[in-house]
């Protein structure tokens, strides 16, 4: 099942790559200057980073909701509890396990909270970079001489490239989430 999902993903990604190459060719046909080419590269880079961090954040939150962390502690406890023969040892083990589980739970919760905060900060930073680049682009459109401005076709092609980046990454992370779900269900 997972191999089928991976094949579907690869086939779909070929389509997104093909669309991206067509858009690059059309943009080149508009004879952009060096600054316009650099602008397109920066916008694509920032869009890519912004979108990846958004999907990574959501994927990480989904992993947390699947309780991957707590399952590992419980399975360790269940495996070890069958080894204890005496009641005294079982009581001691239970006491130590509860303390261990509490400490690990607190540590895991702290790690998850810190990780979510870091991902969220990076996501906001990427969004700011992308927004700043767009603001600069529109400012340049108003202030540059007509021969230095992006043509309406260039603006449209940039928008299509960014939409394609978003769609490609959405596809990747949808497949990633499906594979994660299959992996969790098989455990």
pTM equals 0.75
Report CA 2 to chain centroid distance, whole Å: 20
Report pLDDT digits (tens) over 65-102: 765 544 544 444 444 444 444 555 556 566 666 776 77
pLDDT digits (tens, 9 = 90+) for 9-34: 899 999 999 999 999 999 999 999 99
Give per-residue pLDDT as tens, 158-177.
Answer: 999 999 999 999 999 998 88
Q: Name the residue range of residue 43's domain.
A: 2-66+117-186
Write out the H or E segment, with its range, that includes residue 114. Answer: helix 87-143
Q: How many domains does the chain have?
A: 1
Span 46-58, mean pLDDT?
A: 91
- What is the predicted pLDDT for the residue at 129? 94
Q: Is the pLDDT assigned to residue 63 strictly greater than 90? A: no
* DSSP H or E run through 148: none
For the segment 118-148, what is each residue's pLDDT rounded down to a tens digit?
A: 888 988 999 999 999 999 999 999 999 998 9
Cβ 102 vs Cβ 95: under 8 Å:
no
Is residue 160 one of the residues assigned to a domain?
yes
- Residue 86: the pLDDT is 52
Q: Is 101 contained in some domain?
A: no
């Amino acid at each position: 099942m997972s191999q089928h999902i991976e094949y579907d993903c690869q086939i779909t990604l070929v389509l997104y790559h093909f669309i991206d190459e067509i858009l690059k060719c059309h943009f080149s046909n508009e004879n952009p200057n060096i600054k316009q080419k650099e602008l397109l590269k920066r916008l694509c880079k920032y869009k890519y980073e912004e979108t990846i961090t958004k999907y990574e954040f959501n994927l990480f939150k989904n992993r947390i909701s699947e309780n991957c962390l707590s399952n590992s502690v419980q399975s360790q406890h269940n495996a070890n509890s069958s080894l204890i023969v005496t009641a005294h040892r079982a009581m001691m083990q239970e006491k130590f396990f509860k303390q261990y589980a509490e400490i690990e739970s607190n540590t895991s919760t702290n790690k998850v909270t810190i990780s979510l905060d870091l991902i969220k900060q990076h996501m906001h930073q990427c969004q700011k970079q992308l927004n700043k680049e767009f603001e600069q682009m529109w400012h340049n459109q108003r202030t540059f001489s007509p021969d230095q401005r992006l043509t309406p076709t260039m603006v449209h092609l940039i928008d299509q490239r960014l939409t394609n980046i978003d769609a490609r990454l959405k596809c990747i992370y949808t497949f990633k989430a499906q594979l994660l779900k299959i992996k969790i269900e098989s455990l």
